[in-house]
Amino acid sequence: MSSRKLKQRIQDILEIGAEIGVFTQGMSFTDFEEDTKTVRAVLYNMAVIGEAAASLMPEVEVAYPEIPWVKIRAMRNIVIHKYFRVNLEIIWQTIQTNLPPLLIQLQELESRLSD
């Protein structure tokens, strides 16, 4: 896989991750849980992030082990395959706790990749 293709995938994930932040900005968990449109938009975006991560070659995971690729793909699988039983508290916790540092890691990775 060329670094250009990798960089595009990373940019996709960064854009979608930022979008999740916009969708949930200023919300409490209760606000989130009660807003069906936002919940569905976030779940869709999490699935897309997982798809983007899953489309990367195995060498990428080896080359950048600091990125939790397995967890990203696992979240996608949960959102897609357990969609009616998704635990929104876990999704919220992921948005609040895990997504911001992931986006920082991916921004750092993106800056190391050549155009």
Is 76 catalytic? The answer is: yes
* In contact, 53 and 45? CB cutoff 8 Å: no
Catalytic residue from among 73, 81, 85, 112: 81
Catalytic residue among 40, 73, 76, 85: 76
State yes or no: is 40 an active-site residue.
Answer: no
Query: How open is the CA angle 109-73-43, to the nearest 5 degrees?
Result: 100
* Residue 78: partners with Cβ closer than 8 Å, 6 or more residues away: 86
Query: Which residues does the annotation mark as catalytic?
Result: 76, 81
